[in-house]
Amino acid sequence: MITEDKTLARIDEEVEMLLALDEPTQYKVLLHNDDYTTMEFVVHILMSIFHKSLDEAELIMLEIHKVGKGVCGIFTYEIAETKVHQVKELAKNSGFPLLATMEEV
């Protein structure tokens, strides 16, 4: 009976381990300050790509301006990568050198 209980306990433990889902790694997307990209364009990026309100976008833009970079959001790898690509494409097409990067949280 004791052996049977240990076997059942081990089976339960193995099932729990198989069913446990790891949380996906999160990445923060950052915008970096430069001397050419306008504040208005940064606000536009924050509102259009990151879906920030005007007030949120202005606060993040001021942080980028004062500190040198600012967090736009935290996402899974694929979404963060897509956001970085969208920023780079929109900035390039608008003639700005705005840099977007991602870092693991």
Mean pLDDT for the stretch of residues 33-37: 97
For the chain, domain boundaries: 22-104
Contacts 24+ apart (CB under 8 A), 77-85: 77/24, 77/25, 77/27, 80/27, 80/28, 80/29, 83/29, 83/49, 83/50, 84/29
Reply yes or no on whether the pLDDT at 18 is more than 70. no
pLDDT at 37: 98
Can you give the pLDDT at residue 12? 72
Q: What is the pLDDT of residue 4?
A: 64
CATH of 22-104, one of 3.30.1390.10, 3.40.50.2000, 2.70.150.10, 3.40.50.1820: 3.30.1390.10
pTM for the full predicted model = 0.80
